[in-house]
Structure 1
Amino acid sequence: MEVLAAFDKCKDSLSAWEICSLVQKTLYSEFGIENTKIAPLTDGGEGFVEILTKAKGGTFHSVQAKDSLGEIKKAKIGIVSGEELDSSMLDFMNLSASKKLAIVEMSSIVGLADLPVEKRDPWETSSFGVGELLWESSRLGADSILLGIGGSSTNDIGVGAMSALNIEFSDLHDRKIPFPAPKFWSDIKEISSVNKLHLPFIRIACDVTNPLLGKNGATFQFGPQKGLKPESLSGMEEKISNMSARLSLILGKSLDLRNQPGTGAAGGIGYGLNLFYDAQFLAGFSLVEKWLELENRVRGSDLIITGEGRFDNTSLYGKGPYEIIRLASKYDKRVILMAGSVDEKALMKCKSEFSNVEIYAFGKKELSLQENLINAPKFVEEKVIEIFSEL
C-alpha cells in the first residue's frame, strides 16, 4: 500500500515537515508500511521557504532583518533555479527556466506567532523587515521574487517595507521617520520615492481574497487576531484609508486597486507592493499544488492522510488539507484527515460534500490547549496507530 502524508503545520507545536515525518515513521515502525511519501503543505505562512526550496533542491541563504518591533532577527531566503521547475509551473508563474527565483516568507521576519500575546499591537508593528528581505533577494541576484504572506503580525499596507526600500517618510522638520509603524503616521508630512531601490518582479502567494477596506478588509477582518482592540478598529481603518489614498495620489494610481482581491491580506502589504513595484497575486494553493505536483502524487497513492492543527469553517475555504480532500475525491481515493481539534459543523459540511473522507481529532478535550500542544507528537502517533489498527 502506498500512502501519502500531506499535512499543514500544527501551529505552536509541529511544523508541516515534523508531522509528515512523524506519520511516516509511525506507519513504518508499527505497521511495516515502507511506501509512505510525504508532502508538507504551506499556505504562504510558516514553512513556505523551507518547503518550496527543499522540494526543488534550492539553496538557503541566512540573512538578518528587523522583526515587526524593530529587533534584529535571522531569517532565510530560498533560491531556486527555473531549470528545476517543470513547464506547467513555469507557465503558471510566467517564468523563464533560465531565471533565478528568490523565495521569501513574510512570517519568518514579522510573524504573528513570534510575538507574545501582550506585544501584539498593529499600531506598533511594522513590515520593515519584509522590505529588507526583498532587497536581500535582489542582492542575491534573483530575477524574480516569490513572496508568501501568511501569518503576519502587521497592518501597515507595506509602509514599513517601503521605508526599508528607501521610500522616505519624513516629518514636519524633514527628519526621516526610521520605523513608520501606524502609530507614527500622523507625523508623516512628506513621502518621497526618488531614491527607491529597484526590485525584480514580485509574485505574491495568497489565498485570501479580501479587499483592503471595509468589513471584510484588512483591519476589520484580521486586525482583532493581530491584537487590535475593538475600540481601535475604526481608527485604524481611517488611518489605512487615508494613507492608501495618499500613496495612490502621489503615484498617480487608481483607488480601485484597494478593491482588488488579496489587497486585504497580511495587513495590505500586497497593496503597497503593487503601488510601488511590478507585482501580482498568485493563488496560493494552486501554486503549492503545482510546485509539489500534488495532483500526480494523490493520483498515484492508495491512501492519503492529511490534516492541520485545527479543522474548522476557515479550513473549507481553500486551505491545504481541504484541497487535498478535493483532489483525493477527484480520483476516488480514500483520505483520512487528522486535526488537533475539529469543529463539528465543519466536519459535517465536509463529510456531506465528500464521501471518501474520514475525520478524526487527535487532541484531548479534557486537557488545556497548552497541554495538547506539548503532547502533540505523542497524540499524533497514538491516533495514527488507532486508525491504522482498524483498517
Structure 2
Amino acid sequence: TAQASGLTLLSKNERNPLGASSFGTGELLMKAAGSGAKKIILGLGGSAVIDGGAGLARACGVRFFNYQGKLLDIHGGKDLIKIKHIDLSAVPGCLKKIKIYCACDVNNPLNGKTGAARVFAPQKGASQSDVRILAENLLHYGSLLEKICSGASKFPGSGAAGGIAAAMKAFFNAKIVPGIDFLLHEAQFEKKCRNADLVITGEGRLDRQTLFNKVPAGIAKIAARCKIPVIAFAGRVELDTAEIKKCGLKAAFSITRNLESEESAMANAAQNLYFTAYNVFNAINIKK
C-alpha cells in the first residue's frame, strides 16, 4: 500500500485524509489477478488513506450504493457515511479464487480509541475535526462490513492501512498475518540469525507503535531466542530506555543529526545513516 497509495508519494500540502483513496492499490490487485496470480501478498502500511479500503474495493468490482439506491463513487473516508448497501456480485471470479495474504504490522482495530481514525489519521495530516468525521464514518462503514463478514471490523489489525485490512477480510476473505513474522518466516531468518554476532535493524521512527510487533520488535524476538543482541537505527527515537528494552533492543540510535524538516531528513537519510553507523561501530569496536 505504501507504493500504490502511500504517504511518501505526497508532499505535506497534498495530504488529504478525508479525500485520499486506496483505488490505486485495488488496480494493482486487479492487474495481478488478471495476470494469473495464484497467491497475492499485500503489504499493509505507510498508506495515506483512511477510506476503509473502499477505494481498493471499488477498483476490484465492489459496488457501493447510497440511501437513494444510486451507485456511489467513493472518494476517501469522507464518503463512507453515504453508503447504505454494498454489493459484491460484480467482483471478478479470478479474484475470488486467489489466496490473498495481508501482511500487517499493527494490532489496531478499525474503530475505537486505538482505531484507524484516532491513531493513524493525525499521522496523515488530519485535524481534530477530520479525525472526528473519519471516526464516525468508519464506525458506520464497519457496521456494514460486519453484515458481510462477522468480526471484519474488530479483529486485531483490522485498522491497518487506514482500514484496508478490514475490507480485504470482508470482501475477499484475505488472511491477515503479522507482517514481520510472515516475512521472517519466508526469509528463514531464525536459521540465518544463529550464526550472527549482532543483528542490526531499523525503522523510520521508533515509537510506541514499534512495541506492537513491528519490524524491530519482531526481529528482536527471534534474535532473543538465538541469544543474539540487536541494535536499531531510526530517523527518530521516541522510546525511553525502558521501552527500548521492552522492545528487545540493546540500544537504539537516531540518525538525524540536525534540526531538520521531515522532508530534509528523508532526503538525507542515506548520508545520515552512514555517518551514525560509522561512529557507532567505531565506538563499540565489535569483535568476534
TM-score of Structure 1 vs Structure 2, range by shorter chain: 0.7 to 0.9
1:223 aligned residue? 121
Check if 1:201 corresponds to 2:99. Answer: yes
Q: Quote how far apart the aligned CAs of 1:124 are.
A: 0.6
1:349 aligned residue? 243
Deviates more, 1:284-293 or 1:373-382: 373-382
| Counterpart secondary structure, 1:210 | coil
Summarize the Cα distance change of 1:278–1:374 in structure 2 as closer, same or farther, 3 Å threshold: closer
Q: Which structure has the larger Rg over C-alpha atoms? A: 1
Q: Quote how far apart the aligned CAs of 1:344 are.
A: 5.5
Summarize the Cα distance change of 1:353–1:170 in structure 2 as closer, same or farther, 3 Å threshold: closer
The counterpart of 1:361, out of the listed 254, 277, 286, is: 254
Q: Quote how far apart the aligned CAs of 1:189 are.
A: 5.6
RMSD: 2.7
The counterpart of 2:58, out of the listed 163, 184, 209, is: 163
- State TM-score, norm by structure 2: 0.85
Check if 1:148 corresponds to 2:46. Answer: no
**Percent pairwise identity:** 31
Q: Quote how far apart the aligned CAs of 1:110 are.
A: 0.6
Superposition pairs of residues 49-128 of structure 1, within 5 angstroms = 106-128=1-23
Q: Quote how far apart the aligned CAs of 1:214 are.
A: 1.0
| Counterpart secondary structure, 2:31 | helix
1:18 aligned residue? none
* Whole-angstrom distance in 2 between the partners of 1:152 and 1:123: 13
Summarize the Cα distance change of 1:211–1:188 in structure 2 as closer, same or farther, 3 Å threshold: closer
Give the aligned length.
281
* 1:292-321 Cα distance to aligned partner (Å, 9 max, x none): 221122111123222233333332332222
Check if 1:378 corresponds to 2:271. Answer: yes
* Whole-angstrom distance in 1 between the partners of 2:282 and 2:161: 42
Summarize the Cα distance change of 1:297–1:128 in structure 2 as closer, same or farther, 3 Å threshold: same
* Whole-angstrom distance in 2 between the partners of 1:223 and 1:206: 17
Query: 2:22 touches 2:55 (CA, 8 Å); kept in 1?
Result: yes
Q: Which has the larger strand fraction?
A: 1
Superposition pairs of residues 223-372 of structure 1, within 5 angstroms = 223-249=121-147, 251=148, 253-254=149-150, 256-343=151-238, 345=240, 347-351=241-245, 357-366=250-259, 369-372=262-265
* Whole-angstrom distance in 1 between the partners of 2:90 and 2:256: 52
Summarize the Cα distance change of 1:165–1:295 in structure 2 as closer, same or farther, 3 Å threshold: same
Summarize the Cα distance change of 1:361–1:142 in structure 2 as closer, same or farther, 3 Å threshold: same
Summarize the Cα distance change of 1:359–1:172 in structure 2 as closer, same or farther, 3 Å threshold: closer
- State TM-score, norm by structure 1: 0.64
Q: Which has the higher contact order (CA 8 A, sep 6+)?
A: 1
* 1:39-79 Cα distance to aligned partner (Å, 9 max, x none): xxxxxxxxxxxxxxxxxxxxxxxxxxxxxxxxxxxxxxxxx
1:34 aligned residue? none
| Counterpart secondary structure, 1:301 | coil
Q: Quote how far apart the aligned CAs of 1:243 are.
A: 2.5
Query: 1:163 touches 1:180 (CA, 8 Å); kept in 2?
Result: no
Summarize the Cα distance change of 1:235–1:373 in structure 2 as closer, same or farther, 3 Å threshold: closer
* 1:63-107 Cα distance to aligned partner (Å, 9 max, x none): xxxxxxxxxxxxxxxxxxxxxxxxxxxxxxxxxxxxxxxxxxx11
Runs of 5+ in structure 2 lacking a partner? none
